[in-house]
Structure 1
Amino acid sequence: MKHHIWAFALALVLTATAASAASSVPQDLLRAAKAEGEVNSVGMPDTWANWKDTWRDLKVKFGLSHQDTDMSSAQEIAKFAAEKNSATADIGDVGFAFGPIAKKKGVTLPYKPTTWDDIPAWAKDKDGHWMLGYTGTIAFISNNNIVKNPPKTWQDLLDGDYKVTVGDVGSAAQANNAVLACAFATGGSEADISPALNLFAQLAKQGRLSLSDTSLANLEKGEVEMALLWDFNALNYRDSIDHDRFTVSIPRDGSIISGYATVINKYAKHPNAAKLAREYILSDAGQINLARGYARPIRTNITLPADVQNMLLPNEQYSNAKPIGDFDTWNRTARKLSRLWQERVLIHMQ
């Protein structure tokens, strides 16, 4: 009975929060979005940062059906540009560095939500072409059944005997930021990622580097021994499979705090539904939804429920994690990353 009472009370709170979010949205936008009836996304799957709760809320509260196609940040922008007026996607979620790229390519539709003033200036385009919804920090996740001494530092990776999974460097924002996080921890910078490339090259020479994308499925099957992921992904995967089977931690010697930004497709078939989705993502309810997916809301004036706060890693683990300090320099480096990765790391793959 207590469980049912708690569930009923939680439902009332969520309903009230969602209703509050809707009340601040311009009524003409609400009507237009409801008339469109659907919103289609790219790079916003249910298992990433708890997007499923936001899509559920948009369906329940506003009648918007939803479909997502998962892909990397670079692929999302390429899709917007290639499809143009035959667009199949309305909104996407791209890594921080890719927001300005999307704007420069001319594929974004600007829109400032009603919570615009709560979003830090560093986390948004001044005209509303992109804005962060949440931040993440690169973390380690290890399968305790395989990795008997879970790494705590980047140097520990070199001393191990397990495969390190990094993902699609040069294309996926998560993988790119893993390289930059390693650079920060090993004496590099936004301009100089050589220390990180050297570390990954050593792993490649040892035959211990995997370029696979980490997923819930391959983690559960034991196919991933140790991986570099955003903290929100690592924690979500751990708790979705078996809390005791995996160790998740922020590397002690340094990491990077970055984030993901919504971009609305300039050619969207459902532009008003996409704007409403952005409104909801940056509302109190939407920000709490992301936090339930272990992501840290961009709006710092949000009060998280106690149970959500307890899902996250202790704050002290983030003491050596820092944000990008020079975005222009990192953008220039990121554009060269595919070539550097090929020349400095992949050449050593066994």
Structure 2
Amino acid sequence: MKRLILAAAVLISIPTISIPALAQTVTDLPELYGGEKTLYDAAQKEGIVVSFDTGPTWANWAAEFAAFKKRYPNVEITYNDIGSGATVVALDKARNRPQADTAYYFAASAYDAIKKDVVAPFKPVNFEKLPDVFRDPDGKWFTIHTLTIAFLVNKKLVKNVPHGWADLLKPEYKGDVVYLDPRSTGVGQVMSFAANFGAGGDMNNLAPGFDYFAKLHKAGNVLRVEGTTPYAKFVKGEIPIWISYENDGLKAKYADGMGDDVEVVIPSEASVAAPYGISLVKNDPNPNAAKLWLNFIMTDMGQGIFAQGYVRPSVPGVQLAPDVAAKLPPAPQVKPLDVAAAAAKKAEVDAGWAKAALGQ
């Protein structure tokens, strides 16, 4: 999960991309949505958009920056990479003279931003297509991509690939399973809800999930519970089965050399999609450029760029290139996570998991 740590807010400028004289920009292409060219005209007068917490190595933001700059050559974009919690702190400190135009974060932080009154309503293109739990009704935040809980399986270490939560309880997976601590990590919290749904529970009944973890640990199938993301250990071949986000497995498979040794499995019974959202900053210095940016990443083009970075688009029905779609097959068993409800259950998850898994 995207790290939620405090760090100094250092803005970084995107290097100017050379646009050949005959390059196609928004001025000579069909509009992606009605009013795009008019909005670009207004954004050019501002000339820049400041995008908080969109680190280029995360979720394919670097490709989003490049595509935006190519389509809108007269609008520069700058960004920083400070973490979800730090973003809200930075917005709060600068509320009297905002520096940011947009703010990106794990959706739970969006609720904090609303409480602090540092974000403004804006409904971009495709807003109405989002599930209700993936957006603020007034548009003060909305989901732009999701991360889905999956089993990341090293086939060199595991003979039979498990396909569901029930499979992980089998004796053949003794000492094979690694996952993150729900008490201290976001992905661990999200995973606990996925396991609960897979065991037949819901947001109002967490007991099936706790029972599941008790069985998993009693069976001896858990190798260890990690406190930090063990991605490097997985890539080195030290973890047979890692319950984490789907994009970690796809990155290991397609970008970091593991290839066909990795199988990424969304459990058949159920899983959850964790929302990552973005907001327009209240009283931001470049509102037209900000809206141009927010609209762009919510168009089919922008959503497709996220998918190229192994995260699932938030807008249902986006058409993806065949090679990209093959890596992100339909998964109707995935449920959108209501992060507000999940946050309200955190203490119950922490205590229930510790008792079930650790006997504490």
The TM-score, its normalising length taken from structure 2, stands at 0.73
1:4 match: none
Runs of at least 5 residues in structure 1 that lack an aligned partner in the other structure: 1-11
Query: Partners in 1 of 2:82 and 2:230 — Cα distance?
Result: 13
Equivalent position amino acid for 1:277 in 2: W
**TM-aligned CA distance change 1:198 to 1:53, over 3 Å:** same
Q: Deviations over 1:275-313 (max 9, x none)?
A: 222111011210211222233333345332223222323
2:326 match: 310
2:78 match: 66
2:6 match: none
Query: Partners in 1 of 2:129 and 2:253 — Cα distance?
Result: 31
**TM-aligned CA distance change 1:246 to 1:193, over 3 Å:** same
Query: Partners in 1 of 2:207 and 2:61 — Cα distance?
Result: 35
Query: Partners in 1 of 2:88 and 2:260 — Cα distance?
Result: 38
1:220 match: 235
* TM superposition shift of 1:214: 4.7
Q: Deviations over 1:126-146 (max 9, x none)?
A: 321112223443211123344
Query: Partners in 1 of 2:205 and 2:320 — Cα distance?
Result: 37
Query: Partners in 2 of 1:333 and 1:298 — Cα distance?
Result: 19
2:138 match: 127
1:234 match: 249
**TM-aligned CA distance change 1:65 to 1:225, over 3 Å:** farther
Equivalent position amino acid for 1:152 in 2: H
Equivalent position amino acid for 1:334 in 2: A
* TM superposition shift of 1:184: 0.4
Q: Which deviates more, 126-135 or 32-41?
A: 32-41
- Out of 43, 54, 66, the position equivalent to 1:56 is 66
Q: Deviations over 1:1-42 (max 9, x none)?
A: xxxxxxxxxxx8998998633874263565436634242321
Contact 1:167 1:175 in 2 (8 A): yes
Query: Partners in 2 of 1:157 and 1:25 — Cα distance?
Result: 49
Query: Partners in 1 of 2:188 and 2:274 — Cα distance?
Result: 12
1:345 aligns with 2:359: no
The TM-score, its normalising length taken from structure 1, stands at 0.75
1:249 aligns with 2:279: no
Structure 1 segment 23-34 matched on structure 2, within 5 A: 24-25=35-36, 27-28=38-39, 30-32=41-43
Q: Secondary structure at the match of 1:154?
A: coil
* TM superposition shift of 1:183: 0.6
Counting matched residue pairs gives 329
Q: Secondary structure at the match of 1:279?
A: helix
Equivalent position amino acid for 2:190 in 1: N
Percent of matched pairs sharing the same residue: 26
**TM-aligned CA distance change 1:227 to 1:14, over 3 Å:** farther
Structure 1 segment 114-153 matched on structure 2, within 5 A: 114-119=125-130, 123-153=134-164
Q: Which deviates more, 245-254 or 122-131?
A: 122-131
1:154 match: 165
Equivalent position amino acid for 1:65 in 2: I
Higher helix share: 1
Q: Which deviates more, 272-281 or 153-162?
A: 153-162
Q: Deviations over 1:35-57 (max 9, x none)?
A: 34242321x43344322211111
Contact 2:141 2:277 in 1 (8 A): yes
* TM superposition shift of 1:164: 1.1
Contact 2:249 2:262 in 1 (8 A): no
CA RMSD of aligned residues (A): 3.9
